[in-house]
Structures are given as C-alpha cells and as structure tokens.
C-alpha cells in the first residue's frame, strides 16, 4: 500500500511539474536603462545649410517638407536629412518661395552637392482636407559654381519648382 501511495504521489508531482514548466518561461524583454547617444555630426559637417523651393502646385495646394535627399558628387553618394520649412507652421503656401530651417549636413563640409530631391506632402486648402502621402520631387540640379557646401549656404530658389508631377 505504501508503494502504491508513493507511486501515485510521485505521478501527481511529476504531472504537475510537466504542466507548470512551460508556464515558467517568460516573454519579458529587458528595456535598456540608458538611451543611446545621438549621432555625432563631427567636424566635417556643413552647418546651417538651407534649401529654397517655389510651391507651384495646382489649385492653391500647400506643401510641407519632410526631408532632403542630396547627392555628394565626388563620393557618388546620396544622403538624407530631415527638414522642415522655416515658416511658423512649417507649411509653404501656393506661389511662395519657402526656405528650410538651417540643417547640418554630416560629412559634407567642402563637398560638392550636385543634385537635390525634396520629400514633401501636399494638402488642398479646402476645409477637411488631409495631407497626402510623401512625394519625392524631381531631381533639382545645383549649378557647378554653387556646388561646394559651406557654412550658412543656400541652395535652390525660385528656379527649384515643386509642381504637379
């Protein structure tokens, strides 16, 4: 009788452990305590660079900048920088020439920037309109005499038109 009781008790304990073991596994994931440091721009940054575009969208549409894609000629490399227009609401009205806030372009000091693309959204001025998905402008070419990136540089102007593509 002792052996049967012992066997039943052992079977119950092993059965309970078999059922409990999968539940002991945890899906918890540790979150880092410290946030990673922001990327360092370094001494080769081309500082306070601004880009100007003319909003020539149809039907009075406004635009807002998302990012700039610029091509480094000698390095044959496209780079991207998040940007926004310097207006108080970050929007560029139809017919306006708008300038981005000054940005630091990493690894671009003294480098020739020969092509630029604006990633932007547009919206109708009609009430209840929503912003479009992000659109990439056509390639804007920088004149050869203006390509070298220097501090406080402006690229573009009224000839860099954002229209319907």
For the segment 96-112, the average pLDDT, to the nearest whole number, is: 95
- Higher per-residue confidence, 109 vs 165: 109
Distance CA 9, CA 12 (A): 5
Within a domain: 1: no
For the segment 107-114, the average pLDDT, to the nearest whole number, is: 95
User: Would you list the DSSP string of 3-34?
Assistant: HHHHHHHHHHHHHHHHHHHHHH-----PPPSS
The reported pTM is 0.73
Within a domain: 22: no
pLDDT in tens, 10-21: 777 776 666 665
Within a domain: 158: yes
Within a domain: 147: yes
Number of domains in the chain: 1
What is residue 33's predicted lDDT score, i.e. its pLDDT?
54
pLDDT in tens, 20-60: 655 555 555 555 555 554 454 567 899 999 999 999 998 88
User: What sign for the dihedral angle of Cα 146, 147, 149, 153?
Assistant: positive
Could you tell me which of 44, 53, 164 has the C-alpha nearest to residue 104?
Answer: 44
Within a domain: 58: yes
């Amino acid at each position: 009788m002792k052996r049967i009781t012992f066997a039943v008790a052992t079977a119950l304990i092993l059965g309970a452990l078999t059922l409990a073991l999968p539940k002991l596994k945890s899906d918890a994931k540790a979150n880092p305590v410290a946030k990673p440091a922001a990327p360092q721009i370094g001494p080769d940054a081309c500082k306070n660079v601004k880009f100007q575009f003319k909003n020539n969208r149809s039907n009075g549409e406004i635009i807002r900048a998302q990012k700039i894609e610029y091509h480094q000629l000698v390095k044959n490399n496209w780079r991207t920088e998040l940007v926004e227009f310097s207006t108080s609401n970050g929007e560029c009205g139809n017919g306006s020439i708008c300038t981005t806030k000054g940005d630091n372009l990493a690894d671009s000091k003294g480098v020739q920037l020969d092509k630029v693309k604006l990633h932007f959204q547009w919206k109708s001025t009609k009430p209840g309109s929503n912003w479009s998905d992000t659109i990439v402008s056509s390639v804007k070419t920088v004149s050869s005499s203006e390509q070298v990136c220097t501090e406080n540089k402006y690229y573009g102007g009224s000839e860099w038109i954002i229209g319907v593509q």
